[in-house]
Structure 1
Amino acid sequence: MNQDYIDWLYGLSAPMVALNKESGASYTSPFFFPGYEYIDMQKDWGIHSRETLLAMVFNMVDDGHATALSKHYFMYPRLSALDWLNYTEKQSDYDKVLLEFVEQTYSECGAGGIRSWDYARMGYILRNGITNKFITEEEALWILYRIGLRTQYYYSSWQSYFSGWFVGYQYWESLTNKEDLERLRCDLCRSSQTWTMTKLYTDEDSPYHHLPWHIEIEELEKPESLMEYAWS
């Protein structure tokens, strides 16, 4: 397998690397934190075994945080201004705030919306899973290959992929303010992780600098050890 292709697959978790670079995170190693022998994922993720890791990944890739907004990102460019207004007026007050957010961020991440927020985090989990010996590198690469097909379908560049992650981070940070809609509206307009985006574009190790987005997605054979799972 071409090394650039492997680096590209691990590069799908690049936003999480930028977020954790000072703690030793790597863009290209199979191990997210090469210097660690074990990563505790129980507290933040509830992951403590192979089964819980795979269940999390297979669920979150297609049914994660992005699902709350994916329909809106899909419809926004397909409706006229008047039809979008009519569509908005039929929504709850809470959803109207989210639709404003979609309007404001569509130009950054496109129809893919915040799917990369889920994709990058699952790449992070898979690479930590290799460290913990919950899964093999072969298994992780096959799952990342399937995620990679999704990313190239929904995003046109590293920039739009990174932006989708950043917008997803904004959305996730704001979820605690569902009852205070004005506070939610304000929180969706800003994020504390702007510096992470800067790192993605300035760090010479970032895939942004040395790997094309439109790399050929090499088909990988599904490992026998994953055949019991219907996910693909």
Structure 2
Amino acid sequence: MSVTPLRDRIADLILSGEFRPGDNLDEQALALRFGVSRTPVREALHQLAPSGLIEMRPRRPTLVKRLNPAQLADAFEALGEIEALCARYSADRMSQIERMQLSEIMKRGDGIAARNDRELYRAVDSEFHNAVHEGARNASLHRLASQMRMQVAPYGASPYTLPGWSADLSVPHQQHKRIAEAITARDSGSAHRLMAEHIALSSATFQTIWSDKTMQEEAASKLRRKRRS
């Protein structure tokens, strides 16, 4: 496997939630997993570093980048403004074919959300937001939106796959449908407002989940240190 596909495979593992914020990306373990030597793994990680998904430090383990609560809040705040602007522009600029395609995405999501299939819904979520980015007809906004979603993706994707976390997918799906309906109706003001609300609610949910998870990890770490002492 060459370096570029290897880089993309590692990124997929992070974006899918298999590797989570703070996880160690061990070069030897990755080399064994993909049947390659450590050299292409190391190069793939170097190529992935500018994306903001991982943190590489000299003579220290490479980690899936972990944002502190303030950084995560800042990232979601910026993402909300960018996504809302994309939704506004999409309502004004999407072609009729693109509006029909957006409606088809929502129809596919209906059954997936009804079954509460978290893994499949993650793909629908990504497809929906990508369609809104592309429909905005603004390359700079599209690039910024993609970069910001990449930054928060390990937090946004993980709840769909966290063991024991029972997400009611009808909630985000209904939010998506209302945004899609506003875009299809060319109601740019409602599309902007609904997308901003959607990202704000997602931010609150994900920050609560990761705050609780961090507290649990800190408590477990303290317990381990106490047992060793």
Common topology (TM > 0.5): no
TM-score, scaled relative to structure 1: 0.28
Larger Rg: 2
TM-score, scaled relative to structure 2: 0.29
Of Structure 1 and Structure 2, the greater helix share is in: 2
